[in-house]
Amino acid sequence: MIPVTKPYLPSREKLDRYIDGIYEGQWLTNNGPLVQELTRRLEEYLGIENLLLVSNGTLALQIAYRALGISGSEAPAEAITTPFTFVATASSLKWAGVDPLFVDIDAETWCLDPALVESAITPLTRAIVPVHVFGNACDVEAIDELGRQHGLKVVYDASHAFGITYKGESLLKHGDAATLSFHATKLFHTGEGGAIIFKRKEDLERAKKMINFGITGPESIEEVGINAKMNEFQAAMGLCVLDEMEENLKARAAVWHRYEQALSQILQLQAKPEALDYNYAYFPVVFESEEQAVRVLDTLKENGVLARRYFYPSLENVACLNSQLEQPVSKDIASRILCLPIYAELALEVQSHVSHVIDAELKA
């Protein structure tokens, strides 16, 4: 069976050398030397500052909310976010005591529609949490300006946006914070892991305390904290994956462009701004109807190919998130979308098979 994605596994020989060093030094966690090295190298590679490594991408969001004062108060709070995303974007808010307030998406970019955000702001709104869906840039200028005008924090869920630049600069520089997921299925990964990029150093310093139980010394506790630290084995994997990033990107780009050539005339693709330098992390396509999308999904599976309905359902329809309003564009796109297999090792003949199955099914 051809999976929708596969973890990128770097050189075993290089990984073994890092692990040998961990055994020799016997420093397994608590801001070890490999975590420090990965922090420096990622800041350099991504062209950013104030990066904090954490143990997973969901905790990255939750630490960002608390460090920025969005959560942590007993007073009722809301954050405006998109319903077209992985559930962790919204559930991390809910878990932190902040109600997600869903606002619809743009029909072409599939990102949060800033034109709808202002009318959704209430006295309880503390933040805007947009998502760079599939690595596509939100309208960051408009959203950042809304945050400034209304005194709201802006936290970008940038889980899909590793390495992406917009107008020549890292997309991660926008907002008060941006978060990354380093889950095994992501373009860059540490097995499990994540990161937060803060605009302000003082927010970074507060978050550093939070991820280590609020402890600042042998006999000093300054924050209500949690354990969100990345360990040395995660960092070792990340360093190895980073070493081979350009090779991985080149292979994924070739797969992405072959899909684009084969399918762009018969299916709707995501619209991206010209100033975006993409990372080829996903290849989503939208069909004419939900019936057609489900039929293609089933036919692909019968032919040994796993596609996925990312992101289905639209989150306002998830009962535990307690949303009251339908978001028609998100609901429509979510019902008709499939993400196709994409990873560095995807063979040309396998990819041609995927495209052929889709084309044949559409003509049936």
Q: Nearest-CA neighbor of 284 among 86, 87, 135?
A: 135
Q: Nearest-CA neighbor of 163 among 249, 89, 226?
A: 249
- CA-CA distances (angstroms) from residue 134 to 147, 180, 232? 23, 12, 29
For residue 141, the model assigns a pLDDT of 98
For residue 324, the model assigns a pLDDT of 81
- Contact of 309 with 284, CB cutoff 8 Å: no
Q: Nearest-CA neighbor of 330 among 311, 344, 307?
A: 311
- Residues in contact with 310: Cβ distance below 8 Å, sequence separation at least 6, in sequence order: 86, 134, 282, 284, 337, 338, 339
Strands of the sheet containing 169-170, edge to edge, are: 169-170, 165-166, 276-277
User: Which secondary-structure segment (H or E) carries 355?
Assistant: helix 348-363
Other CB atoms within 10 Å distance of the CB of residue 72: 16
**pTM confidence score:** 0.97
For residue 112, the model assigns a pLDDT of 98
What's the CA gap between 193 and 211, in Å, rounded? 13
For residue 284, the model assigns a pLDDT of 98
**CATH no. for 12-242:** 3.40.640.10
- Contact of 238 with 37, CB cutoff 8 Å: no
What's the CA gap between 119 and 138, in Å, rounded? 18
Segments of the chain with pLDDT less than 50: none
How many residues make up the chain in this entry? 364
For residue 223, the model assigns a pLDDT of 87
Q: Is 341 helix (H, G, I), strand (E, B) or coil?
A: coil
The DSSP call for residue 52 is E
- CA-CA distances (angstroms) from residue 196 to 58, 84, 99, 308? 11, 21, 21, 27
Could you please report the per-residue DSSP string of 279-301?
-----EEE-SSHHHHHHHHHHHH
Q: What is the CA radius of gyration of the chain?
A: 21
- Catalytic residue from among 186, 199, 209, 331: 186
Domain map (residue ranges) of the chain: 12-242, 245-363
What's the CA gap between 36 and 31, in Å, rounded? 6
Q: Is the dihedral of CA 264, 265, 266, 272 positive or negative?
A: positive
User: Which secondary-structure segment (H or E) carries 58?
Assistant: helix 57-67
Q: Which residues pair with 305 in a beta bridge?
A: 2
pLDDT digits (tens, 9 = 90+) for 321-335: 988 899 999 999 999
Superfamily of domain 245-363: Aspartate Aminotransferase, domain 1 (3.90.1150.10)
What's the CA gap between 323 and 329, in Å, rounded? 16
Catalytic (active site) residue 186: yes
- Residues in contact with 145: Cβ distance below 8 Å, sequence separation at least 6, in sequence order: none
pLDDT digits (tens, 9 = 90+) for 233-292: 999 999 999 999 999 999 999 999 999 999 999 999 999 999 999 999 999 999 999 999
- Contact of 197 with 64, CB cutoff 8 Å: no
**DSSP collapsed to 3 states, 131-184:** ECHHHCCCCHHHHHHHHHHHCCEEEEECCCCCCCEECCEEHHHCCCEEEEECCC
- Contact of 64 with 96, CB cutoff 8 Å: no
